[in-house]
Amino acid sequence: MGVVRTIDWQDHHIVAIDQTKLPGEVVFLDIFTVEDLVDAIRRLAIRGAPALGVAGALGAAMAVRDEPRNRDRDLAALRTARPTAVNLVWGVDHALATLPRGEDAVLGSALELLESDAARNHAIGDRGADWLAERLDGPVAVQTHCNAGALACVEWGTALGVVRSLHERRLLRHVYVDETRPLLQGARLTTWELAGMGVDHTLVVDSAGATVLARGLADAVVVGADRITANGDVVNKIGTYPLALAAARAGVPFLVAAPESTIDPALSAGADVEIEVRDGREVLGDLPETRTLNLAFDVTPADLVTAIVTEDRLVRPALGERPA
Q: Which sequence positions are flagged as catalytic?
A: 226
What SS3 state is found at 26?
Answer: coil
Phi/psi of residue 52, nearest 5 degrees: -65, -35
- Residue 30, burial from CB neighbour count under 10 angstroms (0-12, 13-18, 19+): exposed
Q: Smallest Cα–Cα separation from 30: which of 53, 9, 52, 44?
A: 9
Task: Examine residue 23 and say whether the peptide bond preceding it is cis (omega within 30 degrees of 0).
Answer: yes
CA distance 153 to 161: 10
- Integer angstrom CA distances of residue 164 from 39, 159, 173, 322: 31, 9, 12, 27
Contact status, residue 196 vs residue 261, Cβ threshold 8 Å: no
225: which residues sit within 8 A by CB, 6+ positions away? 49, 158, 234, 235, 236, 256, 257, 258, 262, 308
